[in-house]
Structure 1
Amino acid sequence: MSKEAPAGYSRMQIVLHWAVAVLVVVQFLLGPAMSSFVEAERTGADPGFGALAWAHVGVGLAILLLAFWRVGLRFANGVPAPAFEPKTPEQEFIAFLTRELSFFLYLTIFALPITGAIGWFYQNEVATSVHGSMKVLVIVIVGVHIAISLFHQFVLRNGALDRMRRPN
């Protein structure tokens, strides 16, 4: 028996979405401090206490926990049906892009803190390198996510963005 899709996102799904979005921005602001700390350690210089580096670690772990919570709610509550039924090849492409982008967005939201934690706590240079290299990927994925959301809101005018602002 298939569970019916909810009319919209729950209040908690919306709160978690925006909390992760804000924390991702905070991570980009803390990133240079973490890079400086790691570089100082790598070259044998005294990195100092590294409060901002530890803040980066803490925020990354918070993102990971919130992402697990969000995915749990996604499985428990489901997600609303797509905001529109594609009628043209262009609309089908937008629907495909939206679906696939969600997958890659979740993948990076899990992969970044996991590789960062492995790099930090286990001093694993491969994980640290992968973590640092994913920065551009996240910027692209988030940028496309924002662009598609704005396209839905202002071009298709289907209210898709409103579903992430107002609970069902």
Structure 2
Amino acid sequence: MDPFPLHLDLPGHPGVALRRLEESDWAIELQLARVEDVPRWTMYPADLDEDGARLRAARNVRAADAQHGIRYVVDEQGDALGTVGFGRSDGGFEVFYALRPEARGRGLVTAAVTALTQWLADQGESVVWLSTLDGNAASEAVAVRCGFRRFRSGTHVDGRPLTVWNRSAAAAASP
């Protein structure tokens, strides 16, 4: 597998790109943790403080350097709108995402998930997956728009029900 890309343009979204999250991007981690619905639907802890945000950013940089996964900042001309990325697991790669409320509804996550899935397909990955906590209709809609199919139901680490979605990475270009 090639090294993870440091930068990806988002087709159909001029001026918006995915750039590798660096330690200096800790503020977007803190901002997202303070958005009311982000901790409810993602792995962002609601009690994240500045030290924790700095640690989280540093941990993500180390993971990218080790090729375990990568988190990108969704960047619109210098404005951090959110994060997206993927992580390696036993079952392949899982994609994940979170946006600030004012950046939602523009198709940015759909474009980002499609771009990441396509890159993984170009690297020979056959399956990509994502998880949604039950009741997260917006995230489920992203999964459907990106061509993911319900794969199985399960339980989140904190006991909440979730759905795992997967798709053939080779189909990434035609969701």
TM-score by length of 2: 0.23
Larger relative contact order (Cα-Cα within 8 Å, sequence gap ≥ 6): 1
Higher Rg of the two aligned structures: 1
TM-score by length of 1: 0.23
